[in-house]
Amino acid sequence: MLSVSKSINQHKSIFILGLITLGSFVATNPAKAATFEYKSWTTDAPFIEMLNKGDFKELFVAEGRIGNNSLNMGERELKINGDVQQGAPVSIQDDFVWGNGNLWDFTLEYTGSKVNYTLGGKLLSSMDFNGSASDIFLRTAATTNSTMTLSNLLFDDQQMKNAQGQIISSVSSVGTSTRDIDYLQISDITSPFTITGKAAMSWTGAQPMRSNLAFQIKVGNSPKTSVPEPGTLSAIFVIGITSAVASKRKKVAKIGLS
């Protein structure tokens, strides 16, 4: 009887130890809400430096550019592509008529294995990209006498299942006498996620061409510790308990043979 009680108490101790270990792990690795930071960069140089140093690696990029502001196949206006630093080819592209000052709804959705990019009713989808993402950079660029604006922005990821998402006021570039470039970084994100908003390009005088008026949504990863998903935590707990029980059985078996 004493042996049975001792065995039960030992298993209880192992279970409690597992809970304490799991609790400590969660306490030291809490889930974080997404954070937002407007960069003071005035050129692309700091971002390119991040890529070169490995501080950020692009998974995919969704883009809107003035192109030639028409349905002429000679210049793309919308696209999804991979890491341009690594020479990744354009995954998918399309043409679009922006107009001058028109406000267009857009949505970028990433499921972890599929990208859906919708702008002005046009949908671009790609399954060329998969895996987790930790950071997003929203970039706007405008040449002289033009404006590129992303407004009414709303970000939502799986950590906000019961929330309405996080509101971002806007990201915009205003080209006066020189070209203007602006960046907003969204960190501590999880997949899947969705970004919605409105995009508008406007100018005075001659119409800008190609990428002189554009925006990009650069999705990727920074080399930092990520928080495991709940399923991963459960697996860690089960493995820990199983290992402890197996170890205990081996000790009992050795005692029985001695």
The CA distance from 170 to 152, in Å, is 6
pLDDT of res. 82: 87
Same domain, 192 and 76: yes
pLDDT digits (tens, 9 = 90+) for 143-196: 999 999 999 999 998 775 545 678 887 999 999 988 999 999 999 999 899 999
pTM (predicted TM-score):
0.75
Residue 14's domain comprises: 2-28+229-257
For 29-47, the pLDDT digits (tens) are 445 678 999 999 999 999 9
Question: Do both 130 and 160 map to the same domain?
Answer: yes
Choose the weakest-confidence range: 160-164, 171-175, 198-202, 233-237: 233-237
What is the tally of structural domains in the chain?
2
Position 166 scores a pLDDT of 82
Instruction: Select the more confidently predicted residue: 231 or 111.
Output: 111
**Cα(120)–Cα(106) distance, integer angstroms:** 6
**Pair (124, 212) in one structural domain:** yes
Residues 97, 69: Cα–Cα separation, whole Å: 5
Residues 57 and 139 in one domain: yes
